[in-house]
Amino acid sequence: MSVSVELVPVARALRAMMGEDRYEAWIASMQVKVPTKFDDESDLLLTVRKAGYDADKWGGSYKTHIRGEDLWFFWELVNGIWTAVFSKSDSMNEITEFIRDLESKSQRRLFEWTEPGKKSEKVATRTFSTNFRDGDLLCQTLTEYGLRPTQEYPAQIVCDTQGVVLVFTQEADQPFVLEVRNAKDMRQVYLQLNDINDAYNHNVQALTYERLKARIEDRGLKIESEELGADKSIVITLRIQ
């Protein structure tokens, strides 16, 4: 049975006797906290209930039963992440089965969890050469793709895509080198990188085009026509006065 000491009348007396810090440490020592990948509260409730489990409001948390009234736990928001909070006295086998069942029914990886006795899988880091040279343009492309790149220092750009970390590093004026971390399914990464590469090349072409038009105007020339080719190249015809 999971126990929430907040429900026990003596809890307030214990908090006063032990002090806030020692009391919180004692509570933490009785718990197993498993972070999840739910997008938000609505995602959690919909997923859990659709899988056939309850999720009843309990203060600022939600309570879910695994086995009748005898085995239950809480969902709590910890540092912005919905977290399953179990008691260390609970059956790890039943908790593991619950996690497997919920992930199987939702067809998603939901928990940051390693089964007891099972070694965590080590994922090799992959390194690739790229054609990316312009850091600002690369950041723009990654942002447009829906990622949130951060520049650790001028020659390194880092972004996280669903747990997979992409690290772009540049030496001097050389193209960026990409390091892929935590990727278990490289097929999905290849598809994303292909899209990012296409978007980057498009942005390079657009930037080159705008710079060319600026130079044409600076020289007093006029553009007579612009045509987009089948390969998405742009043909500009100038009129010379």
Sorted by sequence, the CB contacts under 8 Å of residue 9 that are 6+ apart come out as none
- With CA atoms as reference, report the closest residue to 203 among 102, 112, 133: 133
The rounded mean pLDDT for the chain is 78
Comparing 154 with 141, which gets the higher pLDDT? 141
- The model's pLDDT over 228-241, given as tens digits with 9 standing for 90+, comes to 666 556 666 656 66
pLDDT of 109 reads: 86
- Tell me the backbone φ, ψ of residue 222, rounded to 5 degrees: -120, 140
Question: Alpha carbon of 118 to those of 32, 53, 96, 114: distances in Å?
Answer: 17, 26, 11, 7
pLDDT of 240 reads: 63
- Full set of structural domains in the chain with CATH: 5-106 (3.30.310), 126-239 (3.30.310)
CB environment 43-58: b (16+ within 10 A), e (fewer): bbbebbeeeebebeeb
The mean-pLDDT minimum among 46-55, 191-200, 216-225 falls in 216-225
* Half-sphere exposure (Cβ direction) of 184: Cα atoms closer than 13 Å: 6
- The model's pLDDT over 33-75, given as tens digits with 9 standing for 90+, comes to 889 999 899 999 999 999 999 999 988 899 999 988 878 899 9
Strand order in the sheet with 150-153: 126-129, 177-181, 164-169, 156-161, 150-153
Contacts 24+ apart (CB under 8 A), 202-205: 202/232, 203/137, 203/140, 203/141, 203/144, 204/134, 204/137, 205/232, 205/233, 205/234
Residue 27 has pLDDT above 60, yes or no: no
pLDDT of 172 reads: 82
Comparing 127 with 54, which gets the higher pLDDT? 54
pLDDT of 22 reads: 54
Beta strands in 1-125 (DSSP E): 31-35, 56-58, 61-67, 71-78, 81-87
Q: Are 222 and 209 in contact (CB under 8 A)?
A: no
Distance CA(2)–CA(74), nearest Å, equals 9
Report percent pLDDT > 70 for the chain: 71
Question: Which residues share a beta bridge with 166?
Answer: 159, 180
Confidence band, pLDDT 50/70/90 cuts, at residue 114: low
Question: Alpha carbon of 117 to those of 46, 104, 120: distances in Å?
Answer: 31, 21, 9
pLDDT of 56 reads: 94
